[in-house]
Chains A and B, each alone.
Chain A
Amino acid sequence: MRISGDKIAKYVFLAIACSAIASLLLIALFILLEGLPFILRYGPWKFLSTSDWRPHEGAFGIAPMIISSLWITAGAMLIGAPLGVAGAVFLSEFVPKSVMCIIKPTIELLAGIPSVVYGFIGVMVLAPLIRTNLGGPGLSLLAAAVILGIMVLPTIISISVDAIGAVPNAFREGALALGATRWQAVRMVVLKAARSGIIASIILAMGRAVGETMAVIMVAGNTIRTPHSALEPVRTLTANIAIEMSAATGMHRQALFATGVVLFVVIMILNSLAMAAMRRKGGR
C-alpha cells in the first residue's frame, strides 16, 4: 500500500498542532494543581484582599500587587493606546503606501526587542529623568507604565493598521463625497468601522502589559505596598513570582503558584474579550 506524501504531512502537522494545544493545557493544569489547593486552604478572599505579604510568617495577601499591576497596566494603556491608535491612523490614512511599507515593518520589529533592553533604557534614562524632574526614587509605577506604554505600541499599531486597512474604501469615498474633510472621514466613519479591531488591539496590549515581567522588575522598584502616588516604587504580580520563586519552598512556593493562577485568569479574560471584540462586526 502506498501512503502519499500529503497524508504523511497532514498527520505530522496535526501532531504538531495537537502538541501545541496539549502543552498549553498542561501548563494551565500544572499551575492550577499547584496553586488552587493553596488558594482554597488559605481562603480566596483573604488571599486576594489582604495586603500583608510576609511569606516567612505565613501571611500571603497579594492585594498591593494586584493593585500595582492594574495601575501600571492602566497607565500603560493611557500612554500606549492614544499613541498607538493615532500612529495607526496616521500610517494608514495620511501617509503614502510606500512610506507605510517601510514604517510598519519597522514598528513590528520593535516587538522583537528583548524586554530586558526596554528595562535597561528605563533604568538608565527614564528613572533618572523622573527622579530629577518629578521627585521620588525614579524607579516607580510611572516609570513602569511609560516603558510598558512604549512596549505595547507594536501590538496596538500593527493590529489597528490592519483593522483600518480592512475598512472598505467605499466608506471613505462616501464621506468625502458628502463634503467631509479627510480627517472628518477618518474620525466619523473609518474609526467607527474599524472600532472592533482597534478595541481588540488595545485589549491584547493590556494582556501583554499585565504579563510583562522583566522590564517591570527593572523599573518598578519592587517594594511591596499599595501605591498612593505614581512616583512610588511598586511590585507587580509577575515581578513577585519572578523575584521570589528561586528561594521559595513549601507554602511560599504554593502561594507564588496561586499568584500565577490569578494572572492566568486575568489574561484569559482579557484575551477572550479581545477575541469577542474582533469577532463582532462593525455597524452598531
Chain B
Amino acid sequence: MIPTPTNPSDPPLPTAKMVVAKLDLFYGAFQALRQVTMPFAKNHITALIGPSGCGKSTLLRVLNRMNDLIPGVLVQGRVELDGLDIYAPATDVCELRTRVGMVFQRPNPFPLSVRDNVLFGLRVAGVHHRARLDETMERSLRAAWLWDNLKDRLHHPALELPLDQQQRLCVARLLAVSPEVILMDEPCSALDPIATAKIEELMLELKRDYSIVIVTHNMQQAARISDYTGYMLLGDMVEFGDTGRLFTNPADTRTQDYISGRYG
C-alpha cells in the first residue's frame, strides 16, 4: 500500500523507496510506535521531528533493523524496501544494512586509521582487491568532501580528527558500501553551527544519488533541508507531508503548537 500525505493540498508524492505501514513497535510492555504509516521518497530527504521520546529514533532504527539488537523488541506491521518486506524471515539483515546505512548521533569512527574506517564495509563484505579498495576509498572520501583534507593522512587514527571530519568520515565509510538509503540520527547534534552547515550541504548534494531519512531535534534544520516531514508525538505519526506546507500550514493543531514552539 502507498500511504498518502495527510493533507490533500500537498503535491503528489514521488516514488517511495521505503514504506512503513501500520507499524506497531513494543519494547516489552511499552508501545513505542502506534500504527505508523508513511513513505520515504526516493532521492529526497525525509525528516522526522517531534519532542524527545516521541519514537522518531525508534522509527529510524526500524528501517535498518537496528532495533533487533535490543532484547524484547516486537515489531508488527509492514516495512518495505523497494516493495519487499524487510521483516520477512528470508531477509539477510547484514545485506539489508548495507543497503540501508546509518549515520549516528555522535560521530563513531572506529579506533582504526582513516583508510581502515572507510574500507571497513568492503572488508566485511570480503572485498580484498587492492585497486578496487583504493578506488572506493578515494571516491567515498571525495563524496564526503574529505579527500583534499585527508588524502595525505590516510593512515592517521580517525579518532584524532576534528568532530565534523569524524562525522563526514562516518558518511564516507557508509558511502563506500554503496547504500541506497541513508538514515541519519541527529547527525549534527554534536557539531557546531559551521560544521552543521557543512553536513547539511553535503546531505543536499547526496540526495541526488541516495534517499535520505533524518531524525532531528532542530526544526529549522528540518525546514531547511528536507522535502518531506513527519511529525511524531508519543508514538503516533501526527502529520506527514510536504515540508514547506507542513511548516507554514499544518493540518493538525498539535503540529501547529509544536512548530510554533508551544511545547517540545
Contacts and interface: CB of A to CB of B under 8 A. Distances in A.
Interface of A: 96, 168, 170-171, 173-181, 184, 188-189, 192-193, 282-284
Contacts of A173: 66, 69, 104, 108
A283 B159 contact: yes
B39 interface: no
15 contacts: A96-B71, A171-B110, A171-B111, A174-B109, A176-B66, A177-B64, A179-B95, A179-B97, A179-B121, A180-B94, A181-B124, A184-B124, A188-B124, A283-B157, A283-B160
A188 B124 CA distance: 9
Interface of B: 64, 66, 69, 71, 94-95, 97-98, 101-102, 104, 106, 108-112, 120-121, 123-125, 157-160, 170, 173-174, 177
Contact of A176 (B69, B106, B111): B69
A33 B112 CA distance: 48
Main secondary structure of the interface of A (DSSP, over half): helix
B111 A177 contact: no
A177 B160 contact: no
Given A170-B104, A176-B69, A178-B120, A192 B110 contact: yes
A171 B108 contact: yes
Nearest to B123: A188
A179 B98 contact: yes
Given A171-B111, A173-B69, A283-B111, A179 B177 contact: yes
A174 B170 contact: yes
Nearest to B159: A283
A176 B101 CA distance: 10
A42 to B, nearest CB: 49
A184 B157 CA distance: 20
Chain B CB within 10 A, most for which of A176, A178, A184, A192: A178
